[in-house]
Structure 1
């Protein structure tokens, strides 16, 4: 008897007591409904939504760690490379800054959305986030730095971000360029029309 026949017999012996599922129990019952949530469940959901408003898209499940000496860089389509270079070299003033040094990751995750949205609401364009940088890839400052790169790219308000120059904190700080708010765009159009006459 060949090896293939022996393997086939072994498989049949192992599967001798296996029975196929009945077709009626193999499907979800469309007639069965989930019970309505209780008032307490609804209240907890509302509370969780209010507490985490603006952060649910900031996942801290998994991030690809960035090497400690690799600079951060991101820009959306339509943003000129010259703007990013000017940002990298401190060509824009620091309009606001957020210091995340030595803060737990969960606290940073909570502070970042409020900071970005408040800066955007006040028509700020260039902000600086100081986060630190460790020497090891899995050091807490470097983990935060890696998450920060992931989180910032998730904000619609963020057009670009790059690691800061040495005078602003080097790889331990990140420049962020925010898009113009509708109010700022309207004011800019008005200024340009006045200049043209």
Structure 2
């Protein structure tokens, strides 16, 4: 659609001048002088560097919380191992995710079932389930993580799953590949 510029005739110009009245040009105003900006200084870096010696003396983490050996992975029989390697490397794009934090086992189980059914219905193939690391589960270990592992292994529509890459949640999440 092409827009036409309205034409201004002499009558329009005359009406405009009558409505505006006499005009006089404005005198130029000098811009205020620009103050020199101070050179940037990394104050926070200095504060961080000064805090390093004190922080290195603190042991405010539990070595048991480290993620060594807690990875989940599964590949359904009949599928090539290459699929699981690709999943672990993050070569599939995550199309949807669900977070199970603050849920009990029953609510999490229903949420996983509903989520995967909805994803299959919408044609979504790769999803992430955030189950958490179970750091508040005490002696019984991570409840939702174990539940997620068991449920996914039993489902026929799951081709493979693996713990997420660190930037996607690490061992607190699992990336699931569904049948096409």
TM-score of the aligned structures, taking structure 1 as reference length: 0.53
| Cα offset, 1:81, TM superposition | 1.4
* Shift in alpha-carbon separation, 1:77–1:132, aligned structure 2, 3 A: same
Report whether the alignment pairs 1:122 with 2:122: yes
* Runs of 4 or more consecutive aligned structure 1 residues displaced over 3 Å after TM superposition: none
Whole-Å Cα distance in 2 between the matches of residues 75 and 137 of structure 1? 29
Unaligned 5+ residue runs, structure 2? 1-66
SS in 2 for 1:161: strand
**Alignment: residue pair count:** 112
Instruction: Kindly provide the CA deviation profile for residues 28-59 of structure 1, in whole angstroms up to 9, marking residues without a partner as x.
Output: xxxxxxxxxxxxxxxxxxxxxxxxxxxxxxxx
| Cα offset, 1:137, TM superposition | 5.3
Report whether the alignment pairs 1:170 with 2:170: yes
Matches within 5 A, 1:1-197: 69-135=69-135, 138-139=140-141, 142-180=142-180
Instruction: Kindly provide the CA deviation profile for residues 49-106 of structure 1, in whole angstroms up to 9, marking residues without a partner as x.
Output: xxxxxxxxxxxxxxxxxx9842111111122211111111211111110110121111
Whole-Å Cα distance in 1 between the matches of residues 69 and 75 of structure 2? 20
SS in 2 for 1:156: coil
Instruction: Kindly provide the CA deviation profile for residues 115-173 of structure 1, in whole angstroms up to 9, marking residues without a partner as x.
Output: 1111111111110000100345524xx11100110001111111111111101000000
Q: Report the structure number with the largest CA radius of gyration.
A: 2
SS in 1 for 2:127: strand
Whole-Å Cα distance in 2 between the matches of residues 137 and 162 of structure 1? 24
Unaligned 5+ residue runs, structure 1? 1-66, 181-197
Q: Root-mean-square deviation (CA), in Å?
A: 1.8
